[in-house]
Amino acid sequence: MRALKNFLVDTNPIFFHSNKLIFFQEAIFHSSEVDYFTVKENNLFHIFDANEVIRIIDDSTVVANSKAIQDDQMDDQKVIFKLSNDITIGEIEMRNDSEVHYRQVKFWMDREKTLDLLKDKIRPIRKKSERIITYGKAADRFKL
């Protein structure tokens, strides 16, 4: 996990972006196959442009390794993505919960914290529906 954290912090010499940005692009949007990021909150659908989402998450997070909290834990078991206020918004961890399964890499991001971040950074534009809110560039591209 230390090596993965160091890799994500580095800049990719081919793409001239951080490896973290490239990781988010692949993990969340399967490269560029998905154009929008939609989150349902109660009865509202919040729709964001994929490129804006990746840029905001990349710019707003710092990569670190986890620190042990309990006696049975060890430092550096996870790669964590933290906001400037030291709140963890996502993690990468190695899972080996079962003897019949191979090890798995698990990546997750907190839905509520991610939505709050995006709503804070990208201007909302309400469209025709009371249940759908588009933000930033998604408003121009998303036709209702």
pTM, 2 dp: 0.85
Amino acid identity at 107: F
pLDDT above 70: residue 144: no
Q: What is the pLDDT of residue 36?
A: 92
pLDDT tens-digit map of 86-121: 999 999 998 777 776 677 888 999 999 999 999 999
On whether the CB atoms of residues 66 and 78 are closer than 8 A, the answer is yes
SS3 94: strand
Contacts of 123 (CB under 8 A, 6+ apart): 135, 136
Please determine, for residue 81, whether its predicted confidence score (pLDDT) is greater than 70.
Answer: yes
8-59: per-residue pLDDT in tens? 999 877 777 889 999 999 999 987 788 999 999 999 999 999 999 999 999 9
